[in-house]
Amino acid sequence: MLTITLDENIPYAAEAFSTLGQTRLLAGRALCNADLQETDILVVRSVTKVNAQLLAGTPVRFVATATAGFDHIDLDYLREQGIGFARAPGCNAVSAAEYVLAALCHWSLIQEKPLQGRSIGIIGHGNVGSRVRQLCEKMGMYCVVNDPPLQEQGHTGLYPIEAALACNVVTLHVPFTRNGQHPTFRLLDAARIAALHPGTLLLNASRGGVVEENALLARLQARSDLDVILDTWENEPAINLELLRHTLLGTPHIAGYSLDGKVRGTEMVYRACCQFLQVEPQWPSPLAFQQPLSMAAGHDHRRDVLHAYDIREDDRRMVAMLRDNAAEHGKHFDQLRKTYPVRREFSGLA
């Protein structure tokens, strides 16, 4: 019988993968080589670094991550060892886009200014960025989209990054890459952070390393003329608490944490594993359809959005737990993610 090791925070993973073999649930961040000596299939989330150190000498022959991102996976090593791989692209894209919309609604209500007519620079127009655009256009915002890889493929209607950075709002939705023609590591470096107009809202729900955090903190300390909402951080889980103190909202990497998104990820990697094993899937998704929030034109939906998903509660939990446990804030950052309350998607996006 197959032995399948699963990150304990993947919802319904045991129920799904038990149709394929014997399952073991372990803490993803603490997973080590010794845990995998009898493992055939490994299913993780973004907190587990999957590389030679983790897998060498183990019988693992298939790895899946129930996430869209895969910068935590050493794909070259998997290819060299002939280990199969799958991920869940787009599984949490709706959830992450709704996070951005809730953040925008909170920001605009504080400012007592409507979102309609404001400009938003969307950097990255993939699964998440394209959905952010749909929601922002429904709210009457003017979208300036930057995506150099798509532009090179012939896509039109795209702008240089400088145009996106000049908008009222800048939101980041790029993968984390250090190499290649368009690396995103510190895409927002000190020079670009310094160039942001006073009053700009900067949102990062992609990866922490996309923003040069020390430069951002230096600007916020020197002149508090930016609003910042951060869901992703450098050095997670040991995040920069001083930077957290300067955010309008700070959350523990949960933008994509809707129950719908997480279960969708489970289902995608389960089906990919079935295909790898050449067996028919036996597990049906347990989620029932939820009626989406009506977002008809001509109505102010900001409070409706925050009623559907009150992002302020995520910020309150983050600030309270990390304030009260500063010495061990890394452990408690992970605890916030592990105990995240049920959140359903509300926008009706596909």
CATH 3.40.50.720 maps onto the chain at 3-87, 93-256+307-338
Helices (H), 213-258: 213-222, 241-245
To the nearest 10 degrees (0 to 180), the angle between helices 311-324 and 329-338 is: 150
| Predicted local distance difference test score (pLDDT) of residue 321 | 82
Is 42 in contact with 62 (CB distance < 8 Å)? yes
Q: Express each pLDDT in 271-299 by its tens digit.
A: 999 999 999 999 998 887 788 998 877 78
pLDDT at res. 326: 80
pLDDT of 324: 80
- Is 207 one of the annotated active-site residues of the chain? yes
80 in active site: no
Percentages helix, strand, coil for the chain (3-state, rounded to 5) are 40, 15, 45
pLDDT at 297: 74
Which residue out of 98, 212, 213, 236 is catalytically annotated? Answer: 236
Res 14: pLDDT: 96
**Which among 65, 28, 72 is positioned nearest to 175, based on CA atoms?**
72
CATH architecture for segment(s) 93-256+307-338 = 3-Layer(aba) Sandwich (3.40)
Q: From the first residue on, what is the mean pLDDT of each consecutive set of 10 residues in the chain (350 residues)?
A: 96 96 96 97 96 98 95 96 97 97 98 96 98 96 97 96 98 94 97 97 97 98 96 95 96 96 96 98 86 83 96 96 83 92 93
Pick the catalytic residue: 207, 246, 332, 343?
207
Q: pTM for the whole thing?
A: 0.92
- Residue 326: Cβ within 10 Å count: 10
Contact 268, 91 (CB under 8 A): yes
pLDDT value, residue 291:
83
Is 253 tagged catalytic?
A: yes
- The one catalytic residue in 253, 264, 329, 332 is 253
Amino acid identity, residue 296? A
Q: Which of 106, 112, 132 is nearest to 302 (CA)?
A: 106
Q: Answer whether CATH 3.40.50.720 is correct for domain 3-87.
A: yes
Note the pLDDT of residue 294. Answer: 85
